[in-house]
Amino acid sequence: MIAPIAAAETRGKLPFYRHLYVQVLTAIAAGILLGHYYPQFGASLQPLGDAFIKLVRMVIAPVIFLTVTTGIAGMSDLKKFGRVVGKSFIYFLTFSTLALIVGLIVSNVVQPGAGMHINPATLDTKAVNNYAAQAHDASVVGFLMNIIPDTIVGAFAKGDILQVLFFSVIFGIALGAAGERARPVTDFLQALTTPIFRMVALLMKFAPIGAFGAMAFTIGKYGIGTIANLAFLIGTFYATSLLFVLVVLGAVARYNGFSILALIRYIKEELLLVLGTSSSEAALPGLMNKMERAGCKRSVVGLVIPTGYSFNLDGTNIYMTLAALFIAQATDTPLSLGDQILLLLVAMLSSKGAAGITGAGFITLAATLAVVPSVPIAGMALILGIDRFMSECRALTNFVGNAVATIVVARWENELDQTKFAAAMAGQLSEDIEVPALQAAE
């Protein structure tokens, strides 16, 4: 299978308009213009974005199942599996906590909500009540219990990432333990990877349409003027997230021998897709594909990325502490150092179940404020109107964080092909999304 890969990598360069990132970027710009000048029509295009996200979610479960199962089944030593999981969670806990601390520090230094002097009793909390109710139903124990699916079919039917991952890990271990007797099943699953990734490639052709519809809806419904009302908070959040990516994750990348800017260039198509749809789930198959093409072992990719979608949410964590302190400052609610530490500890727990989809960060914020009574939960009404615009930044930061985590864990485990990785960072790999499927059959 090396010949098809080499052929794919030596193809002539595509015209610029054939590149997915150019098409998505153009679609985003067109969606913004349409939503701004024809808001009612723009808002009516929501089904385009929703339909594309549903199309991608349709293949997420089989992509995770095949990647994780074949990756673990191919491990000669299950102790390696334990090390990958252990190192992944050490990384997740460290940098998720660091993101919370960064948000806390920036909030205290910049104080985006200072001077607003808003009385919480005057706020309309009807729109917030729905999020608060969802947050009330969430708990750490409930989240952990929900990882175990009621049935195997149920996990795939609901498309729950962690439930599919849980079953895939167990099935992969069972295949590995069965040895040669399970070889026909393993070979079948590896062969099945090829058409599944071809399906992903086909669905990605509709990405510009999905991004166009989602962006037209966002601007048409909420309006660009909504951003201006609380521009300082939005600007602070985007600047803090950019600081975290370039400085904190940039330092991690440099220490591990690569450039964060080179990585961002490598996954630019997926980042633009996240920007257009406000959902990091829409780009999950593409990220898994590119990390494997870049030389990360399939077993590492299959474990780190799906798990990171619920446990490694740097952008969501920055948002939570920044938004919580903004509400406190805007409502003139004094917070002692002890209150802020309590807020940090609660956020560390409540953030671990947030999924990479629109609105999850807002629900998690509601869950955090419900436990920390010092900050009025009614103050969430202040940021509800702009949450949609901040969800893009949350998703983008989460996405980059999971890409970095995958490379770092692969390097720690000596499961990173340095030749392929160097070629990927230098922009010398083909953009053909089908390569991982071909690699699977090598």
pLDDT at 133: 53
Distance CA 302, CA 296 (A): 10
pLDDT at 385: 66
CB 343 within 8 A of CB 324: yes
Q: What are phi and psi of 10, to 5 degrees?
A: -105, 10
How is residue 341 written in tokens?
A: 């530490």
pLDDT at 139: 54
CB 103 within 8 A of CB 319: yes
pTM value?
0.76
How is residue 215 written in tokens?
A: 């962006």
Instruction: Give residue for tokens 């808003």.
Output: 118
How is residue 90 written in tokens?
A: 């050490």
Distance CA 166, CA 303 (A): 10
* DSSP state letters, 17-32: GGSHHHHHHHHHHHHH
pLDDT at 259: 94
Distance CA 344, CA 294 (A): 35
* DSSP state letters, 297-308: -HHHHHHHHHHH
Q: Which residues pair with 123 in a beta bridge?
A: none
Selecting from 1.10.10.10, 1.25.40.10, 1.10.3860.10, 3.30.70.520, what CATH number does the domain 2-440 have? 1.10.3860.10
pLDDT at 248: 95
pLDDT at 434: 43
Q: What are phi and psi of 26, to 5 degrees?
A: -65, -40
One digit per residue, pLDDT tens: the chain, 442 residues? Answer: 333 444 444 444 667 777 777 888 898 889 889 988 898 998 898 888 888 888 888 888 888 888 888 888 777 666 777 888 888 889 988 998 899 999 999 999 988 878 777 777 766 555 555 555 555 555 556 666 777 888 888 888 887 777 888 898 889 888 888 878 888 998 898 889 888 888 888 888 888 898 898 888 878 887 776 566 577 888 899 999 999 999 999 999 999 999 999 999 999 989 988 888 877 778 888 898 899 999 999 888 988 888 888 788 888 889 888 888 888 888 888 888 888 888 888 777 666 655 444 456 666 777 777 767 777 777 777 777 677 778 888 889 999 999 999 999 999 988 899 999 999 998 877 654 443 433 333 3
Q: At what angle do helices 387-412 and 268-277 cross, to 10 degrees?
A: 150
Distance CA 187, CA 440 (A): 10
The alpha carbon of residue 240 and the mean position of all alpha carbons in its chain are separated, in whole angstroms, by 17
Nearest to 293 by CA among 321, 272, 270, 324: 270
Q: How far is CA 156 from CA 53, 57, 62, 199, 399, in A?
A: 16, 11, 8, 17, 23
Distance CA 437, CA 434 (A): 6
DSSP state of 416: B
